[in-house]
Amino acid sequence: MTTAVVSADHGVTVVGGGLLARSDLRDALNVAPVLVAADGGADHLLEFGLMPDWVIGDLDSLSDSARHVIPAMQIVVVAEQDSTDFEKCLSRISAPFVIAVGFAGLRLDHTLAALSVMVRSGWPPVIMLSSDDLVFLAPSRIDLPLLPGTRVSLYPMGPARGQSRGLVWPIDGLQFAPDGRVGTSNRAEGAVCLEIDGPMLVMLPRDTLGIVLTALGLRAA
């Protein structure tokens, strides 16, 4: 079992090396102020004038200039190549939840790898932010007080099924799978209740972050 390096009583922001905007960091740090860089994500932070609390990864993409600026005691080198830097971070964090930014955009393979990591067990709940959306792994049941017309997309990461209330197109009785039926671009009629059996990602507009945190029982800093 991997020992936690980062321990926090509130949320942790993990920053990757993908596309990153100041608004991504602002929204993440407002609710999860501990700042962890996944390898080259540290360069993003330094460009924005921010010093990571921790840098974790195999360090194959961390620049030499960043290595000279960041104190050595804040850098955790994990040399093995069997996991992604995102997974290396999550496995070393003990916290109520993680907000992930900088993992969507630029390279599709990195984005897909990060989404795959999110559905595994053994680390805190993860909410990933992208430019327009957020995504999280559906618990067995969640109640979301959404406004009518809000886009609700469901994407299975394996065989999954469920029941819903409050969706324009209910999912009751449907069998989902990555190579079969997926649930993109559904819409809320108002408050939505989902009961899910199997690995299912829920994708909502970015401005629902506060709603999602409350619905998952998570407390912002």
Quote the pLDDT of residue 19: 87
Say if residue 201's pLDDT is above 70.
yes
Q: Half-sphere exposure of 198 toward its Cβ, with a 13 Å CA cutoff?
A: 17
Instruction: Indicate whether 199 pLDDT > 80.
Output: yes
Task: Give start-end residues of each CATH 2.60.120.320 domain in the chain.
Answer: 137-215
Residues of the chain with CATH 3.40.50.10240: 6-131
8-20 pLDDT, tens digit each: 999 999 999 888 9
Q: Which CATH architecture has domain 6-131?
A: 3-Layer(aba) Sandwich (3.40)
Q: Is residue 1 scored above 70 in pLDDT?
A: no
Mean pLDDT value across residues 194-199: 98
Mean of all residue pLDDT scores within the chain: 94
Q: What homologous superfamily is domain 137-215 in, according to CATH?
A: Thiamin pyrophosphokinase, thiamin-binding domain (2.60.120.320)
pLDDT tens digits, one per residue of 134-150? 999 999 999 999 999 99
**Mean pLDDT, rounded, for 188-209:** 97
Answer for the pair 133, 207: CB distance below 8 angstroms, yes or no: no
Closest CA to 103 of 207, 14, 208: 14
Residues 161-178: what's their mean pLDDT? Answer: 97
Distance CA 188, CA 185 (A): 10
Q: CB under 8 Å to 150, separation ≥6 — which residues?
A: 187, 188, 204, 205, 208
